[in-house]
Amino acid sequence: MGQTTRYRFRQYGITPDPMTVAEFSAVCVSDLRASDHDSPECGASSGELTDAAAVTRWIAEHLRDTGHPNYRQTTSVGITAEPGEWQ
């Protein structure tokens, strides 16, 4: 005998939380194994910034100073979630 499973779907409202401030950061992940650096990645970080353009500036300055080409950029945004109607 098979068993029938039914799923009910519900809508959710996912919106940015206006009470929080978005944070942006970048980390240099350039591979330094070919150099005499003691870790595989550079690891330099912009720190948490509240301005996306400031992260871009940090990357441009780090590139200018070091020539490192690879970065990982992160955006952190507060979210408010509300359950909505069942479908």
Chain contacts with Zn ion (rule: CB under 5 A): 28, 30, 42, 44, 66, 68
Q: What is the SS3 string spanning 10-58?
A: EEEEEEECCCCCCEEEEEECCECCCCCCCCCECCCECCCECCHHHHHHH
Q: How far is the CB of 40 from Zn ion (least distance, A)?
A: 12
Return the number of the residue (22 or 73) whose C-beta is nearest Zn ion. 73
Interstrand relation of 23-28 and 71-76 (parallel, antiparallel or unpaired) = antiparallel
Return the number of the residue (72 or 78) whose C-beta is nearest Zn ion. 72
Return the number of the residue (22 or 44) whose C-beta is nearest Zn ion. 44
